[in-house]
Every structure is written in structure tokens, then in C-alpha cells.
């Protein structure tokens, strides 16, 4: 009897795997996806916009894309209609976007056609198939048949490391769960890596919502409006915190080339560079997460036990550093996390500095006789959080003092412009 080809938990958690590549940031990754919607709702316009944006390396739905070749199987259209649609959304053609209006079906040659196209275009990132029904062999819509057919495309997407998106229809009946509206059995949704359902708020309104769910993407609902032949996001963009972990590790290793120590020691060093607290129990996870990026910066790592304790070993090779041995951390990155504020550290910032600016030192000296009113920076006397306990002197100013000093600064600025503002009355 053939044995399982198993991997232990330890092996999986210590192996550096190639990270999943997002074709459309946060929305479309390598794997198999469904884009579903009612007939004539605008699915094909969205598919064309995604293909064109990926081919040009431009944003789509306010998200960054990974530039590469895009293949669009427009199996219900003609080249004339494709031409008309292209002129609606762009004036500049691109060699990286290709169209097909006829193909084989699943299990009867389609996979070979896509494989051959990939051989000719090694930078292939996405394949859109419009529509799923046009490439199906079976007329059976049962769970087993649905799952079997799509599993072939799923395996192909994983093998070629591309995103394959099949355009499909939704049922006429509405449902509180939009993903239940995808036509066919649950075998379709169960097999794919992600689903996107485009539902118009009111038929013909050109306002819609795109529901997204998947294994490698966050569940989200995106409000859209159809303008100038494109679906555009009407929601306010949510700012994402920049990830500078790899930069911090790289800059830390520039100064020493070799590091051997505990996760706590490394976390403390990186906290100083990032100017925010990094927890020791997250260090190994972050190193694994950024392993590929770190390798491109000439940094490799391993974790092993020494004298009964787990140690982390980092090595830096300048010859493998795509950053040319220069520091990568942006100078403008400043945080005010008291957990890592140290005397003399470049992370230190005076409290209320945006409010008091140059009068900070004067205010501190003026109130030095009143401990309760003194404004100071938290100063940690110890630099070794393992051996010594951190002792921080923290003295607070009152809210009234903050408001009055703020008002004084504003009055002073206005007075320089000839505008007199009377002081607050107690």
C-alpha cells in the first residue's frame, strides 16, 4: 500500500515557501476565481478593465496590479465588438494583452492551449474566461460535475502560478448571501480560491456592489459606479500601514553582517529602527513571512536550539543585496511609541511637539518648580530589557495648560498678521 507523503508541523513552519503573488492587490491572487453577475450587468467591462490594467501595470478598482501578460478569452464576442470596447476605455494599445474568441473546452484541449500560451509568454499573470458555460463539456450541473470540471482549471492555475478567472452568471432569484446566487451547485464556489459577485443596486442604475470572498483575500464589499465604460470605486480609500520590517532587518545587518541571539534581543534592536514595539513571539513569523524579500536584500536566517534555548542567526551578503548596500528605511518614518522611546534615540519625539513647537524647552524650565505641571519626555534608563527593569520618568501636563498654550500660539500667529484675538477668560 502506498504511504502518505506527509510533512511534520516543525518542517512546515521552518520551510521558506514562495509567497503568493497578488495580480490585483488584495483582490486577485494566483489561483482560480469566479466573477459572477446578472446578464448585461457589466461583468465583461470589469474583466476587460482588469486585463488592460494588469497588462499596463496600472491601478484597477483603486488597487495596485502586478504587470504582466493578460489573456482574455472573449468566447461570446467578435473582434469588432472587442475593438469597440477597447476604444471606449483606452487610446493606447499594449502588446501584453491578448484576445481569443474561440477555444477548446475543459478536458478537451483547453488546458493544453493555456499551457502553450504560457510557454510563449512567460510573464503571463491572468487568464479571463468569458464565459464558463462556453468551455464546459458536461450539461450536468450537479455538485460532482461542477467540482470536477473546475478542479481541472484550479490545478492548472496552481501549476502555472497564474490567476484564472471564469466569468459566470447569477440566478434570477435574490438571496441574503450574494454568493448563493452564483448559478449552479455549491461545487463551483467550493472548488475556487475566491468568488466575486457583481450586483447592481437597481437594474439599469449603473450603481453596484462587488462582493468578494476568498482563501487569500479579505472578505469585502466594494461600492462601484459605472462611468465612461469603467467600474469605479466610490468608497473612500482606507490607508494601509506601510510594512518596513524587511528594510529594518536589512539596515540592522548592514552594521554587523552577522547576528546570533534570542528573539527578544532581535525584537529590541528592530524596535529601535522601526520606532514601534516589535514583540519577540512575532519575530520568527515575520522573518518567515518576509524571507523571499530578505533574500533579495542579501539577508538569510535560520533558527536553532543552543544550550536549550532557541536562537536566531542572521547573515548578510553585500554581493546579493539588490539595495546596493545602502540603508532602505525612509527618513520620514517617525513613530511615537513610548514602549521604545529612549534617551538620545532618533525615535524620540517631544510630547505635544506639534502644538508647542519651539516653546517646549521654555515651558519645561518654567514649570520645573512644580512637579505636577512639568512636561517631560519619558526616558528609559536601562538599555537591556532582559537584565534590568526599565525605569521611566513620566510627568503629565494638565488639559487646561495644553489648551491655553495652544490658544496662546494661535493668538501670537494671528497677531503677526494684524488680527487681535482676546485671551481666554478663566
Q: What is the pLDDT of residues 10-39, one digit of tens each?
A: 888 888 888 889 999 999 999 999 999 999
Residue 399's pLDDT band, with cuts at 50, 70 and 90, is: low
Cα dihedral 40, 46, 47, 51 sign:
positive
Residue 239's pLDDT band, with cuts at 50, 70 and 90, is: low
Fold of 245-321: Phenylalanyl-tRNA Synthetase; Chain B, domain 1 (3.30.56)
Residue 175: per-residue pLDDT = 84
Fold of 13-233: Rossmann fold (3.40.50)
Report d(CA 69, CA 49) in Å as an integer.
Answer: 14
The pLDDT tens digits for 127-151 are 999 999 999 887 777 888 888 889 9
Joined grid coordinates for residue 374: 512639568
- Answer yes or no: is pLDDT of 75 > 80: yes
Residue 66, φ and ψ in degrees, nearest 5: -95, 115
Report d(CA 208, CA 224) in Å as an integer.
Answer: 5
Residue 374: per-residue pLDDT = 45
Other Cβ atoms less than 10 A from the Cβ of 344: the count is 6
Residue 17: per-residue pLDDT = 84
Is 98 within 8 Å of 72 (Cβ atoms)?
Answer: yes
Strands 220-227 and 392-393: unpaired
Is 94 within 8 Å of 150 (Cβ atoms)?
Answer: no
Report d(CA 203, CA 226) in Å as an integer.
Answer: 13
Joined grid coordinates for residue 196: 466575486
Percent of the chain with pLDDT over 90: 52
Residue 166's pLDDT band, with cuts at 50, 70 and 90, is: very high
Which secondary-structure segment (H or E) carries 411?
A: helix 399-415
Is 283 within 8 Å of 303 (Cβ atoms)?
Answer: no
The pLDDT tens digits for 319-374 are 999 888 888 988 756 444 444 444 444 554 444 444 344 444 444 444 444 444 44
| Residues facing 169 on adjacent strands | 37
Q: What is the mean predicted confidence (pLDDT) over 277-303?
A: 90
Question: What does the DSSP assignment read for 49-107?
Answer: HHHHHHHHT--BTTB-B---EEEEEETT--HHHHHHHHHHH-SS--TTEEEES--PPTT
Joined grid coordinates for residue 6: 506527509
Q: What residues does each domain of the chain span?
A: 13-233, 245-321, 350-415
The pLDDT tens digits for 221-230 are 999 999 999 9
Range in 39-53, 97-111, 236-250, 253-267 with the lowest mean pLDDT: 236-250
Residue 361: per-residue pLDDT = 45
* Burial label, 285 (beta-carbon count in 10 A; 0-12, 13-18, 19+): exposed
Decide: pTM greater than 0.75. no
Report d(CA 324, CA 35) in Å as an integer.
Answer: 43
- Answer yes or no: is pLDDT of 202 > 90: no
Amino acid at each position: 500500500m502506498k504511504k502518505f507523503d506527509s510533512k511534520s508541523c516543525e518542517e512546515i513552519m521552518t520551510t521558506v515557501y514562495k509567497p503568493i503573488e497578488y495580480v490585483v492587490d488584495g483582490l486577485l491572487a494566483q489561483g482560480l476565481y469566479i466573477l459572477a453577475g446578472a446578464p448585461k450587468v457589466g461583468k465583461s467591462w470589469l474583466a476587460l478593465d482588469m486585463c488592460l490594467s494588469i497588462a499596463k501595470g496600472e491601478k484597477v478598482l483603486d488597487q495596485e496590479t502586478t504587470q504582466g501578460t493578460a489573456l482574455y478569452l472573449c468566447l461570446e464576442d467578435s473582434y469588432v465588438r472587442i475593438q469597440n470596447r477597447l476604444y471606449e476605455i483606452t487610446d493606447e494599445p499594449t502588446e501584453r494583452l491578448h484576445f481569443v474568441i474561440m477555444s477548446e473546452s475543459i478536458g478537451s484541449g483547453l488546458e493544453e492551449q493555456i499551457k502553450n500560451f504560457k510557454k510563449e509568454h512567460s510573464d503571463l499573470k491572468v487568464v479571463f474566461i468569458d464565459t464558463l458555460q462556453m468551455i464546459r463539456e458536461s450539461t450536468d450541473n450537479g455538485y460532482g460535475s461542477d467540482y470536477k470540471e473546475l478542479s481541472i482549471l484550479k490545478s492548472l492555475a496552481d501549476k502555472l502560478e497564474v490567476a484564472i478567472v471564469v466569468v459566470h452568471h447569477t440566478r434570477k432569484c435574490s438571496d441574503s448571501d450574494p454568493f448563493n446566487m452564483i448559478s449552479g451547485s455549491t461545487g463551483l464556489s467550493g472548488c475556487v480560491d475566491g468568488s466575486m459577485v457583481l450586483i447592481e443596486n437597481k437594474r439599469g442604475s449603473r450603481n453596484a456592489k462587488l462582493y468578494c470572498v476568498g482563501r487569500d483575500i479579505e472578505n469585502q464589499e466594494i461600492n462601484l459606479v459605472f462611468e465612461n465604460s469603467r467600474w469605479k470605486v466610490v468608497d473612500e480609500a482606507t490607508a494601509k500601514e506601510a510594512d518596513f520590517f524587511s528594510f529594518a532587518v536589512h539596515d540592522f545587518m548592514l552594521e554587523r553582517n552577522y547576528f546570533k541571539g534570542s528573539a527578544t534581543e532581535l525584537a529590541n534592536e528592530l524596535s529601535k529602527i522601526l520606532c514601534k514595539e516589535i514583540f519577540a513571539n512575532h519575530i520568527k513569523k515575520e522573518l518567515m513571512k518576509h524571507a523571499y524579500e530578505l533574500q533579495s536584500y542579501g539577508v538569510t536566517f535560520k533558527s536553532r536550539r543552543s544550550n536549550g534555548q532557541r536562537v536566531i542567526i542572521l547573515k548578510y551578503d553585500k554581493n546579493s543585496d539588490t539595495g546596493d548596500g545602502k540603508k532602505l528605511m525612509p527618513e520620514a518614518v517617525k513613530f511615537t511609541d513610548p514602549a521604545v522611546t529612549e534617551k538620545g534615540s532618533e525615535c524620540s519625539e517631544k510630547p505635544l511637539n506639534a502644538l508647542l513647537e519651539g516653546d517646549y524647552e521654555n515651558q519645561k524650565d518654567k514649570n520645573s518648580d512644580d512637579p505636577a505641571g512639568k512636561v517631560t519626555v519619558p526616558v528609559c534608563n536601562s538599555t537591556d530589557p532582559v537584565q534590568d527593569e526599565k525605569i521611566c520618568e513620566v510627568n503629565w501636563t494638565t488639559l487646561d495648560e495644553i489648551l491655553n498654550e495652544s490658544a496662546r500660539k494661535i493668538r501670537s500667529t494671528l497677531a503677526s498678521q494684524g488680527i487681535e484675538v482676546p485671551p481666554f477668560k478663566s
